[in-house]
Chain A
Amino acid sequence: MNSNLDGVPQDVQHWLFGQLLGEADAADAADAVDPPGGPMAATGSGLDAPSASFSQTGDPMLDFVDDLPVVRDRYLAIVQARLMAEAERRPPLFPWESEVQDYPEVYDEPMVGQVPNPWLPQLGALDLPTVLPEAVMAHVLERCQTLVGQVTQKGRALMEAVDALFPGQEALMNQMAGRVLLATARDGVMKKTLEPLDFYEGATTEQQIALTMLAAQRLFGSLSLELGARSPRCDRQWLTAFGVLTLRAVYDGDRGTLAIEGDLPCGGALTLETDGGSTVAQRTEAGPVVLQWTEARPQALASLLVTFAVDGDVPPLRFAVTVKD
């Protein structure tokens, strides 16, 4: 740099710059110093405050100087580049994501769950305030099958069914479990919690916990068959991808036997697992199968598995069968 700059005094340079910025007070133009009072203090030339020198008409919407296309475009590009760099360091998540994930280019298969789960249609029929995402439904169903008949305390069962979805939210889950258990069809508290609700991803954590626990509660009901002297028959239906699966259990207290009849919507098998071993009844096409449990005494527990004869690694559907006193 040559010395030409020295010929123009500092305050004159400031004044010229100030004129360019449209500031009435030359002192403002000095060095863009934060005004006295700190970064959060109010200032006369606020960001959106119309000032006579900023726009020709005093109307911020018609402010053309700082919104000249060349200025606006460059400004947006500067801020965009900076904030894009921030976003590359800490990538934002979209509403359906719980972690940064890959999006395959080539394959058309869903990323979550390589094989379609034939048991999921039932969850669409659960009469919840909103539809749950498939990944969430599959997870809750899997957990419920593991827990059904194993955890007797209902509150704990609800929490364990959904806790993997809400890490670090024990207190809230505890609270919601209590509410879900106490809720009836006309329960005002539950209604208030769940309204207004558009869809799962837009719900609060509290609402999501409530929804998944409600789903779990209904699943626990559907996945367990309880029989006893006073309730010798129990029917269950399950909507599968192939059609409705029907189960009927009949308990004979005198003989201590339990007959289970299943109506399969496609080829498959029923397997009963008890302390004394397991029995299987299968067929190659849709139709009825029958099993007998010959040692069905009070307080006995058994697992009833339904499998379909289809391609791929399809997990079975597991019911809990209990004989009450």
Chain B
Amino acid sequence: MLNPEEMSGVASGGVEAIVRYLEEEFRSATTASPRVCGAVARRLADEVRRICTESQRIQASGDVDGWMLQLARHRLQQCLRYYQRGASRGRAELHGTLSAIVYRYIAPPRTRASYQARLTAIEDFLQGFYVESLNAFRRENDVPETYSPRVLLELAEYMAFVERYAKRRIPLPGRRSQQLAILRAQTFAKQQPPETSIDIERAAEGGGSDGDAYTWDDASVQQVRDVMGAQESTEVADASLRQRVIEELIDYLRSKKQEECVDYLVLRLKDMTTAEIEALLNLTPRQRDYLQQRFRYHLIRFALQHRWELVHQWLDADLGRNLGLLPQQWEVFWGALAPEDQALVTGKRSGLGDRELAQQLGLGLSQMQRQWFKLLETAWELRNNPESGTGESTDE
């Protein structure tokens, strides 16, 4: 471990300093021989140097050495992570990561391939992808043509490389980009996205539009963005209300320790079938059914109680719009309310905080919240079932 003074020395010492730094880290964190530590350190340092040399943004930053150190540390940590997992678990983790990246794209779009079908397709695809990655590793690094990993650190290096290679961003027309593995998977699924009218092979070799002969992986891209403060137009969009609702719903579910409900929501948002959801979450149909019910329960509580204002605003059914009721519906609704309920609605309209309002109305806080919940339910039913606008009991 280097102290801040030593670290700043590394950050200004050029490639050789990076090599020494990495080598020292590998020697202290692994039991690989000095030769292997040195070789891996040099290859990582060379990769980082190439990226920094060919990036106009980094060259313009005035702190190329600092950038090299940052990118090198990311690769060091990634490599050591695979090393610590070991040969078996490490490859399983890599395989899982790559599978997750390509899962959606491995079958042609607009078809609903089953989980098993995707699994098989992913197996086939990744076999070829590992070969391509090995080829790329040999080509880009100073190793013999027949090089293959023999000791654990070399294997970890290869696995980390495959992950970075898979995540390289390939520029597409229109200032967009996509990860290399996804483009490969789409080709594998015999589908080309309509935006791709360029030669993907050439792009992967590095014919980037801003002169980057090296394509970047996500972590590097994010590091540059964070520091440069650049706002790419493909990343920024106004957060829509629906996005906020989803984010807050997930927070709410997590606060209620309902991680499985979060999983269920996420997979539904990703348009998965019931069968896929059952496979991915390892549930029987019955368990999935219960989970679904549990999710809906919490969704309703979230929508009508916890964050009712946000949800109603999103649905254009806030108090300012009469809870989304048409004038004649509102008449029916208001007319059927008891005086204390009308007071509650008026109080809510005034914008008074819940505690104050409860005090004013002479109610307990949770009592008032339950009352409000019921009122919203009534309004909902009215709003969504216009024929039943008679104010009668809504018991099913």
Contacts and interface: CB of A to CB of B under 8 A. Distances in A.
A108 B246 contact: no
Interface string B88-127: 1101110111011101110101111110000100110011
A88 to B, nearest CB: 4
Given A21-B269, A34-B275, A83-B100, A103 B242 contact: no
A110 B150 contact: yes
A13 B87 contact: no
B195 interface: yes
Interface stretch (A41-49, A232-240, A243-251, A277-285): A41-49
27 contacts: A4-B377, A11-B384, A12-B384, A16-B303, A19-B242, A32-B273, A32-B277, A33-B274, A34-B112, A39-B112, A41-B111, A46-B109, A47-B107, A47-B112, A48-B110, A48-B193, A74-B250, A74-B266, A78-B267, A83-B99, A87-B96, A104-B151, A108-B33, A108-B151, A132-B146, A199-B135, A202-B131
B380 A8 contact: yes
A13 B297 CA distance: 9
A79 interface: yes
B99 A9 contact: no
Interface string B356-383: 0000000000000010011001001100
B56 interface: no
B268 A6 contact: no
Nearest to B96: A84
Contacts of B269: 21, 65-66, 71, 75
A10 B95 CA distance: 41
Contacts of B384: 9, 11-12, 15
B342 to A, nearest CB: 19
Interface string A22-36: 100000000111110
The secondary-structure label for the interface of chain A is: loop
Interface residues of A, number: 85
A204 B131 CA distance: 12
A17 B296 contact: yes
B148 A39 contact: no
A103 B292 contact: no
A310 interface: no
A157 B192 CA distance: 47
A74 B292 CA distance: 18
B377 A8 contact: yes
Most central of B36, B101, B146, B153 by chain A CB within 10 Å? B146
A40 interface: yes
Interface string A89-118: 001101110001111111110111000000
Contact of A103 (B119, B152, B246, B381): B152
Interface of B: 30-33, 35-36, 87-89, 91-93, 95-97, 99-101, 103-105, 107, 109-114, 119, 122-123, 126-127, 130-132, 134-135, 138, 145-146, 148-155, 158, 176, 193, 195, 234, 237-240, 242-243, 245-247, 249-250, 262-263, 265-275, 277, 279-282, 292, 296-297, 299-301, 303-304, 315, 370, 373-374, 377, 380-381, 384-385, 394-396
A131 interface: yes
B97 A80 contact: yes
A86 B115 CA distance: 12
B299 A65 contact: no
A64 B384 CA distance: 28
A92 B95 contact: yes
Contact of B267 (A11, A61, A75, A200): A75
A7 interface: yes
A12 B153 CA distance: 57
Contacts of A82: 96, 279-282
A102 to B, nearest CB: 7
A125 interface: no
A70 B262 CA distance: 10
A198 interface: yes
